[in-house]
Amino acid sequence: MKIAVAGTGYVGLVTGTCLAKMGQSVVCVDKDETKIIQLNLGKSPIYEPGLEAEIVKAKEAGRLRFTMDYTQTYREADVIVVGVATPENADGSANLHALYHVCGQIADAIESPTLVVVKSTVPIGTNDKLAIYFDQILGEDRKNLVEVASNPEFLSQGTALRDTLQAERIVIGTENQEAEDMLTEIYAPFGQPILKMNRRSAEMVKYASNDFLALKISFVNDIANLCEAVGADIEEVTNGMGADSRIGNRFLSPGIGYGGSCFPKDTKALHWLAEEAGYTLKTIRAAIDVNEKQRFKLIQAARKDMSQFTGKKIAVLGATFKPGTDDLREAPSIPNLQLLLGEGADVHVYDPVGLPNLEKVFGDRLHYSESVASTLQDADACFIFTEWAEIKEMDLGLFQTMREPQVYDGRNCFSIKAAEAAGMNYYSIGRARVGGVVFA
Ligand code: UGA
């Protein structure tokens, strides 16, 4: 089977690479010439551990190619996997511009029966609408050439290869037997459970899964905030909760809220489309509201301790929305950095991989540090926004090089015992404070 992949972002590039690794012949298409040039040189345009090596291997095996020539690629393909972005509109709804643009190109190009597989996260009903769209624009002579199937992805940035190659499930949404058979054949070598359902259910599985995880995080953050107020310890609490297999111990880490290109967008999109359907998703509304507020927990705690940030050296450790990625989209660090700068702080940031992207946002308004040590030297306070292993494993003695070891940790990187032993003034999420407050 010849497979084309539209879009070389996280979803498209990882999917295309993994399909090629599993033996398929894959051509990835993108309109961005720089990306295609890079990929043809065996360079990954995105930071994703292990991906570049797999791209090189699949290219060398002759199973993976990259091109801007969509007409020929789509024309020759039996299956076209669409993995373009569906970002957020101003009102929270999903923007389907890129999806329809690619489908228009597919319609222009194809001459033989083609299965279009939508991997992008799309509102419920989009695949059905696309099927009608294809029938309309293909005209009478090519009317039934396209079949549309939904096949959402569940990969996380930082673990994208593992999530794809060892996925817990593959979801196929189609009521067409031929499409189902083709997708079953494509995914058979992966050896993963395949769940077959209709297109709308498949679309809903994706939103409901992401939104449930977001809800889980917001719930834990809500409980963590309450733990602070009533003297319980969120770590002990989540250990107790997670031991119940009905709850599970994953996605129970409290912090300064979820970020990234998926949860913030997908919670708002599902809430929006529910409103459109005349139903209010109260649980998702609550998850969104809790998350909005949670992002400012550290700065609120610091504001109580410090009379002002003006002229203070503030050290920031970690900026990306989570470890293992250079992505800053919806990262809780961003609004916090904006606030600190707005209040006149002298901000020094360290992140193992995120600094080039941070510089694109903040230019010379921030100081970009080369190490944890230089960031902390003589700082008045330290904020931790991302739990990189390098930060979790750092020598806590380095905090003693600050003017005062005043640390606000948004990801609970250190145990309370370790913070006490290191003589830190330490605020973390949902746990007891350590040490005194040094600023008036
Ligand atoms: C998420 C989902 O986990 C994937 O299954 C899904 O395929 C993907 O979105 C997508 O729709 O494409 P991702 O956004 O890469 O993946 O990152 P996650 O690991 O889910 O983390 C999202 C945010 O939640 C991060 O900011 C992270 O710090 C936060 N988080 C996660 C917590 O605050 N606590 C936790 O316990 C777990």
| Residues 163 and 104 occupy one common structural domain | yes
For helices 97-109 and 126-142, angle between their N-to-C axes, nearest 10 degrees: 20
262 an active-site residue? yes
pLDDT recorded at residue 440: 40
Is residue 380, in this structure, part of any structural domain at all? yes
Domain end marker among 134, 163, 196? 196
Q: Which residue has the tokens 């306070």?
A: 381
Q: What's the gap in Å between 2 CA and the centre of ligand 1?
A: 32
Is residue 439, in this structure, part of any structural domain at all? no
pLDDT recorded at residue 141: 87
Query: Cα 364 to chain center, whole Å?
Result: 27
- Residue 120 phi/psi, 5-degree rounding, is -55, 150
| Residues 180 and 326 occupy one common structural domain | no
Which domain, by its residues, includes 290? 206-294
Q: What's the gap in Å between 37 CA and the centre of ligand 1?
A: 30
Please check whether residue 252 is in contact with residue 242, taking contact to mean a CB–CB distance below 8 angstroms.
Answer: yes
Its pTM stands at: 0.96
Number of domains in the chain: 3
Catalytic residue among 28, 227, 262, 382: 262
| Residues 319 and 284 occupy one common structural domain | no
Is residue 440, in this structure, part of any structural domain at all? no
Q: What's the gap in Å between 48 CA and the centre of ligand 1?
A: 15
Please check whether residue 361 is in contact with residue 334, taking contact to mean a CB–CB distance below 8 angstroms.
Answer: yes
CA-based angle 246:247:251, to the nearest 5?
145
| Residues 67 and 192 occupy one common structural domain | yes
Is 259 annotated in some ligand binding site? Answer: yes
Is residue 328, in this structure, part of any structural domain at all? yes
pLDDT recorded at residue 438: 59
DSSP 296: T
* Beta-sheet strands, E only, within 322-412: 346-350, 367-368, 381-384, 406-409
Strands across the sheet with 346-350, in order? 367-368, 346-350, 313-317, 381-384, 406-409, 425-427
Is residue 423, in this structure, part of any structural domain at all? yes
Instruction: Give the list of residues 6+ apart from residue 309 with CB closer than 8 angstroms, or none.
Output: 302, 340, 343, 344, 345
Mutate to test the pocket of ligand 1, among 162, 222, 262 (most ligand atoms within 8 A of CB): 262
pLDDT recorded at residue 307: 84
| Residues 177 and 230 occupy one common structural domain | no
| Residue-by-residue pLDDT tens, the chain, 440 positions | 999 999 999 999 999 999 999 999 999 999 999 999 999 999 999 999 999 999 999 999 999 999 999 999 999 999 999 999 999 999 989 999 999 999 999 999 999 999 999 999 999 999 999 999 999 999 888 989 999 999 999 999 999 999 999 999 999 999 999 999 999 999 999 999 999 999 999 999 999 999 999 999 999 999 999 999 999 999 999 999 999 999 999 999 999 999 999 999 999 999 999 999 999 999 999 999 999 999 999 999 999 998 899 999 999 999 999 999 999 999 999 999 999 999 999 999 999 999 999 999 999 999 999 999 999 999 999 999 999 999 999 999 999 999 999 999 999 999 999 999 999 999 999 999 999 765 54
| Residues 270 and 305 occupy one common structural domain | no
Is 417 annotated in some ligand binding site? Answer: no
Tens of pLDDT along 195-220? 999 999 999 999 999 999 999 999 99
Q: How many helical (H) and strand (E) elements, i.e. helices and strands, does the chain have?
A: 18, 14
| Residues 180 and 217 occupy one common structural domain | no
Is 126 annotated in some ligand binding site? Answer: no
Contact residues of ligand 1, CB 6 A cut-off: 121, 153-157, 210, 213, 217, 251-253, 255, 258-260, 262-263, 321-322
Residue 310's domain is classified under what CATH number? Answer: 3.40.50.720
**Residue with CA at minimum distance from ligand 1 atom 18:** 156
Q: What is the dihedral of CA 133, 136, 140, 145, to 10 degrees?
A: 0
Domain end marker among 266, 294, 322? 294
pLDDT recorded at residue 439: 53
Residue 222's domain is classified under what CATH number? Answer: 1.10.1040.10
Is residue 437, in this structure, part of any structural domain at all? no
| Residues 66 and 111 occupy one common structural domain | yes
pLDDT recorded at residue 437: 65
| Residues 25 and 69 occupy one common structural domain | yes
| Residues 322 and 285 occupy one common structural domain | no
Is 324 annotated in some ligand binding site? Answer: no
**Residue with CA at minimum distance from ligand 1 atom 23:** 258
| Residues 108 and 187 occupy one common structural domain | yes
DSSP 94: B
Domain end marker among 234, 259, 294? 294
**Residue with CA at minimum distance from ligand 1 atom 31:** 251
| Residues 229 and 314 occupy one common structural domain | no
